[in-house]
Copies of this chain bind each other. A is one copy, B any other.
Amino acid sequence: MGHHRDDVLAHAVELLDTHGLGALTMRRLGTELGVQPSAIYHHFANKQTLLAAVADEILASRPAATASSWPDRVRETCAGLRTAMLDCTDGADVVATVWAFGLGAHGPADELVAVLVEAGADDELAAVASRTLLHYVFGHAFEEQTARQAIAAGAVDRTLDSLPDFDLGLELVIDGLRSRLSA
């Protein structure tokens, strides 16, 4: 048929978004593209590499932070990251896993480090704080998205109104950061 890497990647993202991570299979991807499973390996070395590219695609849709104060820029970056992940089925799972493996884009991490250094943090604080913020955003988004699906599937009974208080937890970390930056 003559597909390119980008065709395969775009289809993988669509498959993830419409049917979830469980449906994003090398075999199913091949079938939907009208091609043998093994043909996918011509474009991606393995599934992990494909998932890393999918994660990058999810993160590419983030808007750039525009605010002037560092707390607002941190809020913008974290909110943008969260929204990008929640906008795609199982997006938080894919992005967090790829990040933990050390693959995929460092965009959000680099952005946070830059903002914090500009705000007066030394290199160590900037590095630790950016990772702390990312762990918070990943953890919160992953739990929210997973719980929502578990409830929708009837797999578990649980309320969710207690969950999406994303901003409050973020302010907690920002407050801790503020007390370090003003010192």
User: Using a CB–CB distance below 8 Å, which chain A residues touch chain B?
Assistant: 48, 96-97, 99-103, 124-125, 127-129, 131-132, 134-136, 138-140, 142-143, 146-147, 150-151, 155-156, 158, 162, 165, 168-169, 171-177, 179-180
Chain B residues with CB under 8 A of A100: 142-143, 146-147
Tell whether A101 pairs with B169 under 8 Å between CB atoms, given A127-B162, A135-B135: no
Whether A177 pairs with B169 at a CB distance below 8 angstroms is: no
- The oligomer's copy count stands at 2
* A94 to B154 CA separation, bound complex (whole angstroms): 21
Known: A101-B147, A135-B135, A135-B139. 12 other contacts (CB 8 A): A100-B142, A102-B150, A129-B172, A131-B143, A131-B169, A132-B172, A135-B143, A135-B169, A138-B139, A172-B177, A175-B176, A176-B177
Chain B residues with CB under 8 A of A155: 48, 101
Whether B169 pairs with A172 at a CB distance below 8 angstroms is: no
Shortest beta-carbon distance, A160 to chain B, in Å?
A: 10
Tell whether A103 pairs with B156 under 8 Å between CB atoms, given A136-B132, A136-B136, A173-B173: yes
Instruction: State which of B48, B97, B128, B142 has its C-beta within 8 Å of the C-beta of A172.
Output: B128
